[in-house]
Amino acid sequence: MAKIMIQGTGSSVGKSIIVSALCRIFKQDGYSVCPFKSQNMSLNSYITLDGKEMGRAQVLQAYAAGLQPESYMNPILLKPTSDKKCQIIVNGKVYGNSTAMEYHNMKLEFRDMLKNHFEKMEKSFEIIVMEGAGSPAEINLRDRDIVNMGMAEIVDAPVLLAGDIDKGGVFASLAGTMLFFTKEEKNRVKGTIINKFRGDVDILKPGLKMLEDVIKVPCIGVIPYFNLALEDEDGAVEFNKKVTAPIDIAVIKLPHISNFTDLDALKSENDISVRFITSTEEFGNPDLLIIPGSKNTIEDLIKIRQCGLEACIKKYSNSGIIIGVCGGYQMLGKSIKDPYETETDVGEVEGLGLLDIETVFEREKVTTRIKARSNVDFPMTKNDGALEKRKLDVYGYEIHMGICKYGADAKPLFKLIEKNKEKVNIEDGALNAKQNVFGTYIHGIFDAIDFREYIANRIRENKGLSYKKSTIYEDLREKEIDKLANIVRENIDVGKIYDIMGIKR
């Protein structure tokens, strides 16, 4: 079994996307390959087919490897609830909540578990592509490191060190990172990668030679800056604030926004612009308003109220279309209660009152993959261009600790028909009488072509635009991963990476 680890000079330098590219390259070359990140910190998470939670970055990497995402690809997931506290997910299930110091002190407890995970993977795959986190030069964390050089040491993995030239100072950041490595750690680094380069690479070459002379490690590639319709790393995502297409979708950028990857499928529609707003001045007159998920729903709702956005949302609800997902759905109701202090010590808060529901947070988290069907018939475009009214089929996943109770004026939006492959008959979400305010617990709701096409065409009709058929998001994602692999293959020395891993081709 071969392995390679991508570490970076800091957060959001492109580690996740490089791992995705390598997974697809190795798969294209005929190898069974699997991604692995021992510890991820992210509010973007995903639910596997067996109901376990993992980071979204490893989901994209799994798809690149031609695999279904599994929690062993990301055994530890940290979900921040505040600047100093986080929820710890271990092997896909909630392990507990802790402060940063408490988690730092418990990290060594997970070393054997991570080693065992990796050894099992070694028996099942020919290549494992590992990803580090943040910077490996955090020398204050070295003695308890389980995600960068500490993990590389546990499994004896060679390392490639990536730097982001678009940020500036890439030579200094690569050399500075190497400076803080021990002798053993320096020996583990077999190459560097310059990422996000704009310009003529010949101009860069003298710098590459000087860098190699300083750190005694060769540069194995310079990857150009590119834009593809693929998920961003948490720290790399750019929360666009401009309207760049005919259809204007505004998203409330909550302080604890989570699962904003729910919006990626909407961005794939070429006449849709998705922008994020944080103030009344930015609200404007969007064609659709989305209130996304949150890791701290009550505190984020309080922030919406304090900054004046609540009044904008309520006024907009008179004629505009609003969709709330998970935490956003809960905010649309009449009240949110947290009796067990699941997310905050604020026991109860009044909701926006746009849906007749009440939410109570429970102790146990719901984590399920689902299939559902709308309770209402919606107009859809047939292949011949004619309209027909029918129920919409959707799919996605649930990650929530709140349970919603319906009032007399709340109409369930969906009927869940499958949870973790088991047949069910459960109501989800809510729809108001005017059918312009929607709420649902289903993450990934826009990945489902039915719901995305209905919403997009409803807006197009309102604006006098022509109806359009939507593209299956999964097909688009596959094409974009192949484009990514081609870009990276053309700009790095793949043969050198095979040599580093000990694979003869």
Structural contact between residues 291 and 324, judged by C-beta atoms closer than 8 angstroms: yes
Q: Spot the catalytic one: 34, 86, 219, 326.
A: 326
End-to-end alpha-carbon separation of the chain, Å?
A: 15
Ramachandran class of 16: left when φ > 0, alpha when ψ lies in -120 to 50, beta otherwise: alpha
Three-state SS across 372-405? Answer: EEECCCEEEECCCCCEEEECCEEEEEEEEEEEEE
d(CA 273, CA 275): 6
Other CB atoms closer than 10 Å to residue 242's CB: what's the count?
7
Closest CA to 395 of 417, 380, 378, 376: 417
In what helix (H) or strand (E) does residue 449 lie, and over which residues does it extend? helix 449-463
Name the residue among 44, 28, 38, 33 with its Cα closest to residue 7: 38
Tokens for 193, please give them.
């990668």
* 5 sits in which H/E element: strand 2-8
CB count in 10 Å sphere of residue 212: 14
Radius of gyration for the alpha carbons in the chain, expressed in angstroms and rounded: 23
Is residue 189 within 8 A of residue 161, CB to CB? The reply is yes
35: CB partners within 8 A, 6+ apart: 19, 20, 23, 58, 61, 62, 64, 65, 73, 128, 129, 130, 131
**Catalytic (active site) residue 443:** yes
- What distances in angstroms separate CA 216 from CA 66, 184, 207, 208, 498, one per listed residue? 36, 14, 13, 11, 20
Q: Is 256 a catalytic residue?
A: no
Residue 421: alpha-carbon gap to chain centroid: 23
Catalytic residue among 117, 256, 400, 443: 443
The residues annotated with a catalytic role in the active site are 326, 443
